[in-house]
Amino acid sequence: PGKTDITDANFPVDGEGRTYHLGTKRGEVANRILSVGSEKRALMLAEYLEPAVPGQGLFMLESSRGFLTITGRYHGTPLSIIVTHMGMANADFVVRENRAVVEGEMAIVRLGTCGALQPPARLGSFVVADPGAMLIRRNPDAFGLEGEQSDVPPYTFSRPIPSDTALSQALQHEAALLLGPEGVCCGLNATADSFYSSQGRSTAWFDDRNESLLADLLCCYPEAVTLEMETAMLLDLARCSRGSIRAAAGVIALADRTSNDFLGADRTQQLERAAGQACLAALAHTQLDDTWGPHHNGST
């Protein structure tokens, strides 16, 4: 087949073996991955990578769908930074399509942003999803005509999904070194299928029936501290990866969901740099069964 021919609709790759949405192939992605939400954050953190081969640049590839992959080394260890954008469907692309092009055991850490629900998570905290994350889903069956009563609850809560304990603890340890112990905490994350309705935000334009959502969440999960849109998908896929993926996540609290305060852009960027380096260090220090990385020099 030619370069872009796709022959298998079950898992589409082109004639070069490039995945359909991320566009990468074997040899271009490391088995340690930092997943971030924005291109700006990825390029800022790529400043901490060295080229995989001295004298060459970092590997960078942006797919037609806007997924940017940057591969290099962090303190000598092969590592990729990948722009995941937002939401569960994008997290699904990133985990599955990278799994398809990487050999051996993988470690994936997400660095994201979130809303803080309650202490110890505060505006500006870096919060590690330890013990894990649960999922809040909007249920369309509950929404008939406006005002119509339904016996179906408008939102459902999944059970908690665990994160990798060692990777989560390494993330907290590295983050405490860079942000100070008071800047880091941990707790259960809630991943929502929308920034708006299923995170309890309301406007007059939509009938969302979410007035009591955050109170219901805290009643069901009093230990929930953060709200965002990707972590539960990452942890669920790692759990179902037949032992081949270890995953953890940390999020910077940029919205306070009690006061509705929002973190300033300068402070957010400072925290992204520090928390990002903590994620890179935690990944680099993680032992994986397989030392394979791209541009492997054959010495291990």
- By CB under 6 A, residue 114 contacts ligand URA: yes
Q: Which is nearer to ligand URA, 100 or 263 (CB)?
A: 263
Q: Which is nearer to ligand URA, 29 or 161 (CB)?
A: 161
CB of 123 to ligand URA, least distance (A): 11
Q: Determine contact, residues 248/171, Cβ cutoff 8 Å.
A: yes
CB of 200 to ligand URA, least distance (A): 10
- By CB under 6 A, residue 63 contacts ligand URA: no
Of the candidate residues 80, 113, 210, 277, the single one contacting ligand URA (CB under 6 A): 113
Of the candidate residues 97, 174, 228, 236, the single one contacting ligand URA (CB under 6 A): 228
- By CB under 6 A, residue 293 contacts ligand URA: no
Beta-sheet pairing, 126-138 with 155-157: antiparallel
- By CB under 6 A, residue 195 contacts ligand URA: yes
Q: Determine contact, residues 277/35, Cβ cutoff 8 Å.
A: no
* Alpha helix (H) residue ranges in 122-228: 165-179, 213-220
Q: For the chain, give percent helix, strand, coil, nearest 5.
A: 30, 25, 45
Q: Which is nearer to ligand URA, 13 or 274 (CB)?
A: 274
Q: Does the CA dihedral 78-175-106-229 come out positive or negative? A: negative
Q: What phi-psi label fits residue 83: left (phi over 0), alpha (psi between -120 and 50 degrees) or beta? A: beta
Q: Which is nearer to ligand URA, 139 or 268 (CB)?
A: 268
- By CB under 6 A, residue 208 contacts ligand URA: no
CB atoms within 10 A of CB 184: 24
Q: Determine contact, residues 272/256, Cβ cutoff 8 Å.
A: no
Of the candidate residues 255, 278, 280, 283, the single one contacting ligand URA (CB under 6 A): 255
CB of 86 to ligand URA, least distance (A): 7
- By CB under 6 A, residue 279 contacts ligand URA: no
CB of 228 to ligand URA, least distance (A): 4
Point out the residue whose Cβ comes nearest to ligand URA: 115
Q: Determine contact, residues 198/299, Cβ cutoff 8 Å.
A: no
- By CB under 6 A, residue 199 contacts ligand URA: yes
State how far the alpha carbon of 249 is from the alpha carbons of 179, 198, 285, in Å.
16, 20, 16
Number of shown-chain residues binding ligand URA (CB under 6 A)? 10
Distance CA 287, CA 234 (A): 20
Q: Which is nearer to ligand URA, 214 or 227 (CB)?
A: 227
CB of 184 to ligand URA, least distance (A): 18
Establish whether the linkage from the previous residue to 120 is cis, with ω within 30° of 0.
Answer: yes
- By CB under 6 A, residue 249 contacts ligand URA: no
Please give the residue ranges that form the binding site for ligand URA (CB under 6 A): 113-115, 195, 199, 227-229, 254-255
